[in-house]
Each structure stands twice: as structure tokens, then as C-alpha cells.
Amino acid sequence: MEVNKNLVEKLAHLSRLTIAENEMPEVINDLENMIGFVEQLQAIDTSDVQPLMYVGQAMNVFREDEVNDEITQQQALKNAPLHTDEFFEVPTVIKK
């Protein structure tokens, strides 16, 4: 793929970026390097490689939920700055 000024300007417009004229050669060079790297990756034969579902070795890092020390509703509400007898009170977020 040929990277030129028109392509960079189009990409800049689509991504809502402003690229100064003096930065254009550097951006073109960077894009050419990135595309070259992707082309190198595409040249690798991966036909014998099985797709991975997970990158790491850990298959399941979750644990079973266990109820430990329970607190009462009153204990949960006692440190809340605003509360009723049953609920936390929070500032209104959605106004009609």
C-alpha cells in the first residue's frame, strides 16, 4: 500500500486530527513502517497454529461466591451520611 500525502490527509480528516505540513513526512514514514510491520506478520505461516481462546495459562480465575460475615441492614446504613430507615439516600441524578 502506498502511503502519500493524500492518504494521510484523508485519514487525518476521518479521525478529526490536524497534521501540520512540517509533520507530514514523519507521519508518512511512521505509517509506512506500521504497514510494513503488518505485511511481515501476514507473511508468517500460521497454518499449523491452533487459535487461542486465552493468551495466558489460567483458564478460570473465578472463585465460588461464599457468604462470609454478614452485616445487618442497620449496620450497613449507620455510616451513610444520608439514609432512611431502610435505604441509602443519594442526590437526584436524573431530573424530569
Domain ranges within the chain, ordered by starting residue: 5-42
Q: What is the pLDDT of residues 67-85, one digit of tens each?
A: 888 899 999 999 899 999 8
Q: Which of 72, 69, 66 shows the shortest CA–CA distance to 86? A: 72
Does 5-42 carry CATH code 1.10.20? yes
Q: Tens of pLDDT along 4-47? A: 999 999 999 999 999 999 999 999 999 999 999 999 999 999 99
Q: Which of 12, 16, 18 is nearest to 31 (CA)?
A: 12
Sign of CA dihedral 6, 12, 13, 18: negative
For the chain, the residue count is 96
Q: Side chain identity at 34, as an amino acid letter?
A: M
**Per the structure block, which three cell numbers stand in for 55?**
493468551
pLDDT score for 1: 75
pTM comes to 0.50
